[in-house]
Amino acid sequence: MNVLLVFAHPEPRSLAGALREVAVRELEALGHAVRVSDLYAAGWKAQVDRGDFPLLAAEARLAPSEASAQAFAADALTDDVRAEQEKLRWADVLILQFPLWWFTMPAILKGWVDRVYAYGFAYGVGEHSDMRWGDRYGEGVFAGKRAMLLVTAGGWEAHYGARGINGPIEDLLFPINHGILHYPGYDVLPPFVAYRVHRLDDTGFAALAEALRERMRTLATAPPIAYRRQNGGDYLIPSMQLRAGLETPGTRGFGLHVDHAASPSGRDDRRRQGG
């Protein structure tokens, strides 16, 4: 398989950097082709602005979605964005690796999504009719490919549990897993989350590295989170409401969009650090 790892940490000698090397080495040993987009090392420009749309006239009002659609259709996006899109087309598997910063991804990675996911590429695709609402949530440019998050967190695992004060990690990562990865078609694997990493000693690192190697070994076979497909009949069109009666009793919020009956492993792979 072809694997793209997008890395969003400013320090290669960090724990994140060490885990990246573990993942890449294991994937290569398994015979996969691996490419890494190291966003800080590349000086990735995080903000969407006029510079992204060379075709936009100087006096024109900037409407980001329209400008994105126009530039994508004309093959006139900037070289850095086009290069990332080419890597995404190439990759069978996408891994987004980042430290949890303020309960989500660092801004540089969000900016990678904002700029690379152009209109006509990752959104705004497919027909809209009584039967379909575009190609999204299980359909789209990345349908048939897999994706997963590789996350380090300072907080304790329990603090991210069902009753934990930070909120469940499944909920915190839902906008990324469902909104950024499932939306353009990826099958999303349960995230690999390392908790309480500031207490990590050599023994803890060795266990963490081995768990990560195991996840790399099962990239092609691990069951994805059973997010429902938008056009698969579970949702009313055009209201996009989940049909009544499909939910597991008592489920609400983000959990509605996981078909728990079909999900052997909708949970994250949790790694408790430091006891």
Is residue 23 within 8 A of residue 216, CB to CB? The reply is yes
- Cis amide linkage into residue 238, ω under 30° from 0: yes
- What ranges in 59-200 are assigned the alpha helix state H? 64-73, 79-90, 107-116, 169-172, 174-176
> Does 126 participate in binding ligand FAD (rule CB under 6 A)?
no
- What whole-number distance in Å separates Cα of residue 230 and Cα of residue 185? 10
Q: Does 251 bind ligand FAD (CB under 6 A)?
A: no
Nearest partner of 15 among 95, 100, 93, judged by Cα: 100
CB distance 215 to 269 below 8 Å: yes
Is 154 a binding residue for ligand FAD by CB under 6 A? The answer is: yes
Tally Cβ neighbours within 10 Å of residue 175. Answer: 13
Told to check if 271 binds ligand FAD by CB under 6 A, we report no
Residue 254 lies near ligand FAD (rule: CB under 6 A): no
Q: Is 40 in the site for ligand FAD (CB under 6 A)?
A: no
For 123, the token pair is: 């959104």
Q: Mask 61-100, x = binds ligand FAD (CB under 6 A)?
A: --------------------------------------xx
Pick out residues in 180-199 that bind ligand FAD (CB under 6 A).
197-198
Specify which residues 96 forms β-bridges with. Answer: 6, 149
Compute the distance between CA of residue 184 and CA of residue 180 in angstroms, rounded to an integer: 7
Q: Give me Rg for the CA atoms of the chain.
A: 19
- Find, among 151, 134, 135, the residue nearest to 15 by Cα: 151
Under the criterion CB under 6 A, does residue 101 sit at the interface with ligand FAD? yes
Contact status: 177 vs ligand FAD (CB under 6 A)? no
3-class SS at 144?
A: coil
The answer to whether residues 11 and 42 touch, using CB atoms and an 8 Å cutoff, is no
Q: Does 103 bind ligand FAD (CB under 6 A)?
A: yes
User: Which range touches ligand FAD (CB under 6 A), out of 15-23, 25-33, 128-136, 220-228?
Assistant: 15-23
Residue 101 or 254 with smaller CB distance to ligand FAD? 101
Q: How far is the CB of 183 from ligand FAD (least distance, A)?
A: 23
- Tell me which of 70, 97, 152, 230 binds ligand FAD, using CB under 6 A: 152
Residue 39 contacts residue 8 (beta carbons within 8 Å): yes
Nearer to ligand FAD by C-beta: 155 or 223? 155
Choosing from 4, 6, 16, 67, the residue that interacts with ligand FAD (CB under 6 A) is: 16
How big, in percent rounded to 5, are the helix, strand and coil portions of the chain? 35, 15, 50
Cβ closest to ligand FAD, residue 18 vs residue 83: 18
18 binds ligand FAD (CB under 6 A): yes
169 binds ligand FAD (CB under 6 A): no
Residues 198-227: x where in contact with ligand FAD by CB under 6 A, - otherwise, as a string: x-x----x----------------------
Q: Which range, of 23-31, 146-154, 182-190, 262-270, touches ligand FAD by CB under 6 A?
A: 146-154
- Applying CB under 6 A, the residues found at the interface with ligand FAD are 9, 14-16, 18, 99-103, 152-155, 197-198, 200, 205
